[in-house]
Structure 1
Amino acid sequence: MSNPEQGQRPSRTINQDPEAMPPLGKAIPLGIQHIMAMFAGNVTPPIIIAGVIGATTGEQIFLIQVALFVAGIATLVQTIGMGPIGARLPIVQGTSFGFLPVALPLAGTFGLPAVLGASLVAGLLQVGLGAFLKKIRHWFSPVVTGIVVLLIGITLMPVGLNYAAGGVGSDNFASPTNLGLAFFVLVVTIGVHQFGRGFLKAASILVGLASGYILAILLGMVDFASVGDAAWFSIPKPLQYGLEFQLTAIIGMTLIMFVVGLETIGNISAITIGGAGRQAKDRELSGGVMADGVATSFAALFNTLPNTAYAQNVGLITLTGVVSRHVVTIGGILLICMGLFPKLGGLVAAMPHAVLGGAGVVMFGMIASAGLKIIQECELDQRAMLIIAVALSLGIGLPAVEAISETMPGQAGLLLKSGLVPAAVAALVLDAILPGKPGRQQPSADEAVASKSEDAKSNV
């Protein structure tokens, strides 16, 4: 007599289940790994904006503190959720690089309060976008979301290499010491991931970062001055800079918000497909985009730049296969602690960029790989190939030829300079207007469950 369970699809492992909770002894290091992976990206935008507005050292420390605190709160909104808000997936929120091309000139012209006011409005609009996402989800076919995720990875690759070289503007940029340290982290990460087992394999990025940090200390490359200057405990103050509402700033930030929302859709799809092995559910996509908007408006109230789902952590999830949202919840709590206890954040801030760059080479490449995996879901006929060709040409070519964006007036030039904005728009428009689009995309996870339920009823 055959076993009735034979032939059935095996159940997902604990690593692939967002609801699973690994033992704390494993979950805490995995949460720390997520924080170390996103830390530099989270604190770099406020450091850059501080330079534009001429902030003092104390103001710069404050901007870093609120960026950490807001990222922690926003991450908990994604992983734990509030009603319909939040994807309830392992999504790490952090300060968005995507808004910088618009935020920097706006801050220089109108001041930081105008940027924060525009961010508040853009975040509220993004909540509305997420609320109606189910009705417009057909706009975001696998070819569109896959292109966006692929370009996110490609866009971040130079960032990873710049970190590996020591960080743009550093005195010893691309020195043999920096490149050697980054290469050491890369080799350790690859070796642990390939030859490690169980938890060690899942924590390969953390092992690589920790090993590189220790080596950097031994080489005398770590400056702990930021730890000494930071306070032991400090509660972030909202509305420290106030809010101003300038129409030009609101328009610019709203345009970028739409693209960042598209990035979030791509990131959520990359998590569920690359990590959990399934399509994203409608409620996950809608809740994730709404949480992005809530986080952006909340960030504006707490004096920091818009928040978004972090692509580098998507790469980490794809690499390790650990999809537990509770692991990222632990990471969010740690971020809040760093925001309340600035010295903790100072310890991570002291890590040389080269260490982070060695891990970034792997993680950012994994994001691009996840994008390719999403694109594979659609039939790669001549129509799809044409959309991919045009979008990639714009997404990669425009940033490489900055003279084109510099000839465009005002905000148009800024939008073209990013490459991701015109590529995403081109993919959306071409997918909508080119003939031959499949009448029905592959059903979402919600639809699949409903279909199975109806089949079961009909078979009774």
Structure 2
Amino acid sequence: MADTSMGAYSDPNTTPPMGQAIPLGAQHVLAMFASNVTPSIIVAGAAGLAFGSAEQVYLIQMAMLFAGIATLFQTVGVGPIGARLPIMQGTSFAFVGVLAGIAAVQGLGVALTACIIGGVVHFLLGSVIHKIRFLFPPLVTGLVILAIGLYLIPVAIKYAAGGAATFQMEAESFGSLKHWSVALTVIVVSLILKFFTKGILSMAAILIGLLAGYALAFALGMVNFGAVAKAGWITSIQPLPYGFEFNLGAVIAVTLVSIVSAIETVGDASATTKAGANREATDKEIAGATYADGLGTAVAGVFGGLPNTSFSQNVGIIGMTGVMSRHVVTIAGAIMVVCGLVPKIGAIIASMPLPVLGGGVIVMFGMVAAAGLNVLAEEKMTRRTMIIIAVSLAFGLGLNLVPTAVQYLPGVVKTLATSAVAPTALMAIVLNLVLPKDMEEA
């Protein structure tokens, strides 16, 4: 067996034997699969699409298909596009809060149009990303990631308890023991596998936990496979399935999150080269990663997919295996493309009862918040730092929780003010720029 220790495949252009490369590629897919499809399910629900409907299945298909295509943009590359590093792309959680709000009020047409335009802006950032990195130190990016996680946690609890009457469960069964038993099964199995096993079982802990919850839900009569039987074997891709509807507020909100997503990708590119080759990412690699991020988002939006970004959990696989081969992740991207072209796979995912999904996203969304705290831990907790954290989160989450507090603002401004992520990011950036850095330490 070939040596897969650190340094054996530290060159992105080398490839392990196919007997190792294919399982390693599949491991990348397992590590990100659940996180990749979850945002589409949430945004579809916010838009009022029936759980398990053909429209929801289509959004799930596009999430898988364009995660694979965006990954190929990164690993194979075209001209300046693509870092040509083992960076796995997937649907971004960062956009969920903004897109769910837009989809609920203005529809998927407005939300996806904003994704297309935001993706174009994201793409253009590739040429200037190195010049604006100073606006997004760990203090700002950590706050934004934390705000995303905290915003999403109530959604996870609602799903675990059975959703609402507008979803697949009846309102009177909300919070029932049956729903919570399924959700807790997902959580317990995921935690056991994550902390008491190694290798593929640990990396795919959430996915296996979801399968365990799915099995219990099936035994309790909560699963309906009707949509699976009706689904075809080859998907039919539709350009602009919800039309093209421009709304300035939606575009600004998505674009702001796109900028934050671009900075996250810079961090992931740097973490990948550090983990796999013990070096810093070059300006060319960072620019290429940003170009691929934006292009993947824009193209996905055209066909009904949500924005893509680099997946941090897959960086952990690089560090664990020491295999930095981009061709391994190319295999993973190809697997996702195949999954996206088979509607029955999307229908099986869509048949998952909400408590099953809820158990998984309690863990995932909690980890998003924890990731934000981990980034913030890089900052020294001075009085200045704590003021920025306190004021930014108070505005970002407070206005989201009490949207009527800004009910008299113009539509564009109100969309931004109640999106949680945008006001947190804006407040953190402004305060970080204007507050003196020599304030008394706490």
**TM-score, reference length from structure 1:** 0.77
- d(CA) in 2 for partners of 1:220 and 1:134? 54
Write out per-residue CA displacement over residues 322-369 of structure 1, whole angstroms, 9 at most, x where no aligned residue.
586666645533332233221122122222222222222222222222
Matches within 5 A, 1:59-458: 61-87=57-83, 88-94=85-91, 96-97=95-96, 98-107=98-107, 112=109, 116-169=112-165, 170-171=169-170, 172-239=173-240, 243=244, 246=246, 249-250=247-248, 252-266=250-264, 269=267, 281=281, 282-283=283-284, 285-302=286-303, 304=304, 306-309=306-309, 314=312, 329-436=330-437
In structure 2, do the counterparts of structure 1 residues 206 and 377 end up closer, same or farther at CA, with 3 Å as the change threshold? same
Q: What SS is found at the alignment partner of 1:163?
A: helix
Q: What SS is found at the alignment partner of 1:418?
A: coil
Once superposed, what is the RMSD of the aligned Cα atoms?
A: 3.6
Write out per-residue CA displacement over residues 113-134 of structure 1, whole angstroms, 9 at most, x where no aligned residue.
x655554333222211232010
Amino acid at match of 1:415: L
- d(CA) in 2 for partners of 1:322 and 1:354? 32
Write out per-residue CA displacement over residues 14-48 of structure 1, whole angstroms, 9 at most, x where no aligned residue.
99998886553454255134223322322442465
Q: Is the 8 A contact 1:391 1:426 kept in 2?
A: yes
Deviation at 1:251, TM superposition (A): 5.2
Write out per-residue CA displacement over residues 359-390 of structure 1, whole angstroms, 9 at most, x where no aligned residue.
22222222222222222223222222221111
Q: Is the 8 A contact 2:399 2:406 kept in 1?
A: yes
**TM-score, reference length from structure 2:** 0.80
**2:39 is equivalent to residue 41 of structure 1:** yes
In structure 2, do the counterparts of structure 1 residues 206 and 68 end up closer, same or farther at CA, with 3 Å as the change threshold? closer
Q: Is the 8 A contact 2:384 2:435 kept in 1?
A: yes
Pick which of 374-383 and 116-125 moved more. 116-125
Q: What SS is found at the alignment partner of 1:99?
A: helix
Work out the percentage of aligned pairs sharing the same amino acid.
34
Write out per-residue CA displacement over residues 183-216 of structure 1, whole angstroms, 9 at most, x where no aligned residue.
1111111112221133322222232122222222
Deviation at 1:135, TM superposition (A): 0.9
- d(CA) in 1 for partners of 2:359 and 2:241? 36
Structure 1 stretches lacking a partner, 5+ long: 1-10, 439-460
Write out per-residue CA displacement over residues 41-98 of structure 1, whole angstroms, 9 at most, x where no aligned residue.
22442465474xx9x9655554554444333322332444434334535443227423
- d(CA) in 1 for partners of 2:118 and 2:164? 30
- d(CA) in 1 for partners of 2:188 and 2:207? 13
- d(CA) in 1 for partners of 2:66 and 2:88? 14
* Equivalent in the alignment of 1:5: none
Higher Rg: 1
- d(CA) in 1 for partners of 2:89 and 2:407? 34
Q: Is the 8 A contact 2:58 2:343 kept in 1?
A: no
Amino acid at match of 1:31: V
Q: What SS is found at the alignment partner of 2:418?
A: helix
- d(CA) in 1 for partners of 2:422 and 2:211? 36
- d(CA) in 2 for partners of 1:288 and 1:213? 36
Pick which of 219-228 and 331-340 moved more. 331-340
Q: Is the 8 A contact 1:92 1:328 kept in 2?
A: no
In structure 2, do the counterparts of structure 1 residues 77 and 159 end up closer, same or farther at CA, with 3 Å as the change threshold? farther
- d(CA) in 2 for partners of 1:393 and 1:33? 33
Pick which of 203-212 and 412-421 moved more. 203-212
